[in-house]
Amino acid sequence: VSDIGLTILAQGCKRLVKLELVGCEGSFDGIKAIGSCCLMLEELVFVDHRMDDGWLAGVSFCENLKTLRFVSCKVIDGNPGLEEHLGFCVALEELHFQKCQLRDKNAMGAVFSVCRAAKEVVLHDCWGLDDGVFGLAVVCR
């Protein structure tokens, strides 16, 4: 699935509540389309994704997103861009990582910034964590 597929999905499934993307490609544009069109989306899951750099900023368009999950992701976002361009998910309650590589401080800082409203952060069987990465979670309430 690419940005074109994500856009077609978004326009055709406006009442979508949960979306799980496994091994998908795409970028900011595809994720923005999902967030802009699927206004009821509450859960978004990325499994072993192959998204282009900068895609994470598109998640902030998912205004009603309550849960964001990453499963088996080797890279979250290779170059998420400047923090002031990321935005954030105001309704987000849960952020989950399972079997993910969380070594990239820049990407993790961006995730925590986008998910700063999260009330629960779950780390399950991940690697690459250190005190610096945990320190970035201070933006979460």
Q: Which domains does the chain have, with CATH numbers?
A: 3-139 (3.80.10.10)
What is the pLDDT of the chain when averaged over all its residues?
94
CB neighbours of 96 closer than 8 A, spacing ≥ 6? Answer: 67, 68, 69, 70, 71, 121, 122, 124
Give the rounded percent of residues in the chain with a pLDDT score beyond 70.
99
Return the pLDDT at 127.
93
pLDDT grade, residue 130 (50/70/90)? Answer: confident
pLDDT in tens, 112-123: 999 999 999 999
